[in-house]
């Protein structure tokens, strides 16, 4: 059986990404064929600092970015530049059909900024690379949450709730997932606005839902749900997919319930991209503290299922 080839961008080398890659290589290489977007010089340095042996079949990539001295737990311009270059290399491999999909290890957004990268993260960059409205979805088989707005200040969220963009988002989400049961759509305001008493954004959300239903030909989305009860056990048992209006509305309950196993998936792109749903963990990087690899393994397993 031919294994899927997965391009793995190595993330911020001052963080835990490279340790996850090295420690899990033996297990994941039984299921997929990983190509790590790190050059041999930086790999050797990282493995030395971790006191880990480099597997003989650990496939690296040449010409990533200039080498630098790894500084565990430090936000730096050089590590940010390398992380971005690693990501770009992974995308190029997928674009040219040299990889079937990509999985990204964690970056540090401030390090990207210090390196002069104009994007706030992977999803922003992917939108620009492909000219597509990529959708950020996070979760695990028990529950997935797609975000209508993502990394923007909370004070800007209400102004971004508009009928046209939300309609397109719902249609694109449906086209990607093809859900077979109802998808829960969250309201924006407390009590989902209480019929306009606490805000009227829900009227916009409801109209976008109706527009999407007319286009799809199926009543697949709920009316705006009251956000503070939408994730209670009694309600949650009815849904696998949720659509949140803003970042913490969806991710706070998701991470409270499924932090270790959650992954990040980019939908509505011509390539499949998954990622761990955690950060660089600078506080424990290179310290020999046991890592939880479940998110990384699940990100690769998602590709196997798609």
Task: Specify the pLDDT at position 198.
Answer: 87
User: How many angstroms separate the CA atoms of 281 and 260, rounded?
Assistant: 13
Task: Specify the pLDDT at position 193.
Answer: 82
Q: Average pLDDT in the 168-195 region? A: 95
CATH superfamily of 133-268: Isopropylmalate Dehydrogenase (3.40.718.10)
Contact between 72 and 14 under an 8 Å Cβ cutoff? The reply is yes
Task: Specify the pLDDT at position 57.
Answer: 97
- 2 pLDDT band, cuts 50/70/90, is confident
Q: Is the pLDDT of residue 261 over 80?
A: yes
Q: What percent of the chain is modeled with pLDDT above 90?
A: 95
Q: Is the pLDDT of residue 157 over 90?
A: yes
The two domains 1-132+270-306 and 133-268 share their CATH topology (first three levels equal): yes
- 194 pLDDT band, cuts 50/70/90, is confident
Q: Average pLDDT in the 259-263 region? A: 94
Longest dimension (CA), the chain: 64
Task: Specify the pLDDT at position 44.
Answer: 98
User: How many angstroms separate the CA atoms of 157 and 231, rounded?
Assistant: 21
- Mean pLDDT, the chain, integer: 96
Q: How do residues 69-121 score in pLDDT, each as one tens digit? A: 999 999 999 999 999 999 999 999 999 999 999 999 999 999 999 999 999 89
- Going by C-alpha positions, the residue among 285, 246, 294 that lies closest to residue 136 is 246
Burial class (CB in 10 A: 0-12, 13-18, 19+), 265: buried
Task: Specify the pLDDT at position 195.
Answer: 85
Task: Specify the pLDDT at position 196.
Answer: 86
Task: Specify the pLDDT at position 151.
Answer: 87
The C-alpha angle with vertex 92 and arms to 135 and 178, in degrees rounded to 5, equals 30
Q: Is the pLDDT of residue 189 over 90?
A: yes
Residue with tokens 């761990």: 276
Q: How do residues 198-242 score in pLDDT, each as one tens digit? A: 889 999 999 999 999 999 999 999 999 999 999 999 999 999 999
- 19 pLDDT band, cuts 50/70/90, is very high
Q: Average pLDDT in the 36-59 region? A: 98
Q: Average pLDDT in the 52-74 region? A: 97
CATH topology of domain 1-132+270-306: Isopropylmalate Dehydrogenase (3.40.718)
Residue with tokens 């397109």: 168
Task: Specify the pLDDT at position 56.
Answer: 97
Task: Specify the pLDDT at position 197.
Answer: 84
Domain ranges of the chain: 1-132+270-306, 133-268
DSSP collapsed to 3 states, the chain: CCCCEEEEECCCCCCCHHHHHHHHHHHHCCCCEEEEECCHHHHHHHHHHHCCCCCCCCCCCCCCCCCCCCCCCCCCHHHHHHHHHHHHHHHHHHHCCCCCEEEECCCCHHHHHHCCCCCCCHHHHHHHHHCCCCEEEEEECCEEEEECCCCCCHHHHHHHCCHHHHHHHHHHHHHHHCCCCCEEEECCCHHHHCCCCCCCHHHHHHHHHHHHHHHHCCCCECCCECCCCCCCHHHHCCCCEEEECCHHHHHHHHHHHHCCCCEEEEECCCCCEEEECCCCCCCCCCCCCCCCCHHHHHHHHHHHCC
């Amino acid at each position: 059986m031919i294994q899927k080839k997965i391009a793995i961008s190595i993330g911020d080398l001052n963080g835990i990404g490279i340790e996850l890659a090295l420690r899990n290589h033996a297990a994941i290489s039984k299921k997929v064929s990983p190509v790590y977007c790190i050059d041999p010089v930086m790999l050797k340095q990282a493995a030395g600092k971790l006191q880990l042996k480099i597997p003989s079949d650990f496939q690296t990539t040449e010409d990533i970015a200039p080498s630098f001295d790894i500084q565990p737990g430090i936000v730096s311009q050089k590590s940010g530049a390398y992380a971005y270059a690693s990501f770009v290399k992974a995308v190029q491999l997928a674009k040219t059909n040299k990889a079937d999909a990509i999985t990204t290890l964690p970056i540090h957004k401030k390090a990207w900024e210090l390196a002069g990268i104009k994007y706030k993260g992977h999803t922003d960059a992917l939108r620009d690379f492909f000219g597509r409205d990529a959708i950020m979805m996070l979760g695990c088989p028990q529950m997935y949450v797609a975000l209508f707005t993502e990394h923007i200040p909370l004070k800007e969220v209400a102004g971004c709730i508009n009928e046209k963009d939300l309609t397109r988002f719902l249609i694109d989400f449906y086209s990607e997932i093809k859900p077979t049961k109802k998808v829960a759509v969250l309201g924006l305001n407390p009590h989902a606005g209480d019929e306009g008493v606490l805000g009227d954004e829900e009227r916009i959300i409801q109209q976008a839902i109706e527009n999407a239903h007319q286009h799809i030909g199926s009543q697949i989305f709920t009316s705006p749900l009251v956000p503070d009860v939408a994730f209670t056990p009694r309600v949650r048992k009815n849904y696998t997919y949720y659509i949140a209006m803003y970042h913490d509305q969806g991710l706070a309950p998701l991470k409270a319930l499924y932090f270790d196993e959650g992954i990040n998936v980019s939908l509505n792109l011509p390539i499949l991209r998954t990622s761990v749903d955690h950060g660089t963990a600078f506080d424990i990087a290179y310290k020999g503290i046991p890592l939880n690899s479940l998110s990384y393994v699940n990100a690769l397993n998602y590709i196997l299922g798609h």
